[in-house]
Amino acid sequence: MDPTVTSLYSLAMADLSFLHASHVPEARHCVDKYMDGYFSLQYMASGAVELGYDGDRRRLEGEWFWLAFPGPRTTFGAAAGTETWDHRHVAFQGPTTELWSAQGLLELTAQPAPAGHRWADVMDALLGDVRRGGRWGKLSAANRLESVLLTLAEARAAGRQERPDWLTAVLERLEEADGWGPDYEALAAQVNMAYSSLRHRFRQATGTSLHDYVIQLRMHRARDLLTETDLPIKTISSRLGYRDVYYFSRQFATETGVPPARYRRSREL
């Protein structure tokens, strides 16, 4: 490599600061916070968590990566029916993150760990370099972190190109439903699957169930209607397919952390 390029790379990486890192084999903690000017890469080797960005929640099972980043309120903790998960994380900040953002390396929200890598070992090596510190530990950690982010970005790009036709069709039909609960049996028939196969394959591909995905769509639409219109909450509830406005309000509060009326008022401030 050209020594000048090496020098520039070292200077760029010197602008990256590692704040903390950890490995908790049986994590039980709950995170609910806004990232104040820094990023953290989260990795789950096994278990299940419920991850939320501004109340938009999804369940992750197995081996996943996700990012906590400035902007949304980020929440995660053990998913229903589980008590712990195998968790590793590293937190970082600095001008280098602007370069990575421009290159599309920090677009990660939640992503299945790409196959073909021993990610637990990769993350342990990264955490070891962070703890080692000093010039060489820091540069090595920065190099490892960038390598992980590049691999994840490449997998995301490949995934967008290779998304199967059946999943594209299902997602389009769910979007067209605009929050209304679809006929899942009919939806499965449209993509030539048994309903049980569709449920299993949808969870494998997206990390969430069909039902939970539809609820997320409803909550997205509900937030839009609450902030962009003056429609009564009962009308919004009915428009989204709920027969009981009180059930809608409870579900909205469960998903976002606040009732619909309070959410609307908070967005008017």
DSSP 146-207: HHHHHHHHHHHHHHHHS--HHHHHHHHHHHHTTTSPP-HHHHHHHTT--HHHHHHHHHHHHS
**By three-state DSSP, how is residue 100 classified?**
helix
> For 22, which DSSP code?
E
Q: Are residues 186 and 97 in the same domain?
A: no
When pLDDT is averaged across residues 147-172 and rounded to a whole number, the result is 85
Is the confidence at residue 141, as pLDDT, over 90? yes
Residue type, 1: M
Q: Which of 129, 161, 193 is the last residue of a domain?
A: 161
Q: With bands split at pLDDT 50, 70 and 90, how would you rate the model's confidence at 122?
A: very high
Q: Are residues 36 and 149 in the same domain?
A: yes
| Structural domain boundaries, residue 212 | 165-268
Total number of domains constituting the chain: 2
Q: With bands split at pLDDT 50, 70 and 90, how would you rate the model's confidence at 178?
A: low
Model confidence over 242-261: pLDDT tens digits?
889 999 999 888 777 778 88
| pLDDT for position 67 | 93
Distance CA 160, CA 207 (A): 15
Q: Are residues 215 and 203 in the same domain?
A: yes
Model confidence over 44-97: pLDDT tens digits?
999 999 998 886 788 898 999 999 988 888 999 998 888 899 999 999 998 888
Long-range contacts, stretch 10-13, CB < 8 angstroms, 24+ apart: 10/139, 12/95, 12/96, 12/99, 13/96, 13/138, 13/139, 13/142, 13/143
H/E stretch holding 236 reads helix 233-239
CB 67 within 8 A of CB 90: no
What is the CB neighbour count within 10 angstroms for residue 71? 10
Q: Are residues 45 and 149 in the same domain?
A: yes
Q: Are residues 182 and 153 in the same domain?
A: no
pTM: 0.62
Q: Are residues 22 and 136 in the same domain?
A: yes
Q: Are residues 152 and 230 in the same domain?
A: no
- The mean pLDDT of the chain is 85
Q: Are residues 26 and 48 in the same domain?
A: yes
Is the confidence at residue 12, as pLDDT, over 50? no
Spatial CA neighbour of 49 closest among 107, 89, 101: 89
